[in-house]
Structure 1
């Protein structure tokens, strides 16, 4: 079975706000792509990571999310699947990462 790549779509809905929409698998092979994309976001006030298109997230993916948080400050996760939510809960990362259970930020405006 071929490995599904990670696609990272970057948008800027407002000044100082960057949204990363991930599609694919966030795992050992693709986590460095997220870290590299986030390295270009230093200085942004608000970073939202949309995980609604992520089919798999493993411990390397969780580590990448923490590295992004360390590099840019507070981040918000949206579109978190039950599997990823369970990983966040079991590892205690819900204490460090803000999870928006509403999914789409456009609906909150």
Structure 2
């Protein structure tokens, strides 16, 4: 069984705002990498997490997103696939995590209308 690595690209957008662009799999083996990267964001109050490049997110990945949320002022998820959106809805996490109304389709983000 091959395990795809998680790549995290950090971009500082403005004072107190940073974007984490994730590529790969956010699962049991890689979720600690996201938590560690977020721990390095000293003083950042707004974190955008771009998930368009994430092919798999399991319950460990969801847990890591919650840990990140607790460590910073606010997070916003972008590039959320339809499958991940369904997981967030079913677990009630859409109530806790701000999800931008976009859907990742074949690597491209399409803004949903409505």
Instruction: Give the TM-score normalised by the residue count of structure 2.
Output: 0.87
1:73 paired residue number: 73
User: Which protein is richer in helix relative to its size?
Assistant: 1
- 2:24 counterpart of 1:2: no
1:1-109 superposed matches below 5 A: 1-102=1-102
Gapped regions of structure 2 (runs ≥ 5): 104-108, 110-114
User: Which protein is richer in strand relative to its size?
Assistant: 2
Q: Which deviations, in whole Å up to 9, do the C-alpha atoms of 1:23-44 show, x marking residues without a partner?
A: 0000000000000000011321
**Deviation, structure 1 residue 17:** 0.8
**SS state at 1:70 partner:** helix
Gapped regions of structure 1 (runs ≥ 5): 105-109
Quick check: 2:27–2:61 contact (8 Å CA) kept in 1?
yes
RMSD: 1.3
Figure out how many residues of one structure are paired with residues of the other and give that number: 104
Q: Which deviations, in whole Å up to 9, do the C-alpha atoms of 1:31-75 show, x marking residues without a partner?
A: 000000000113212100000000000000000000000011210
Q: 1:65 to 1:78 in 2, by over 3 A?
A: same
Quick check: 2:24–2:55 contact (8 Å CA) kept in 1?
yes
Q: Which deviations, in whole Å up to 9, do the C-alpha atoms of 1:2-29 show, x marking residues without a partner?
A: 1000000000121211000000000000
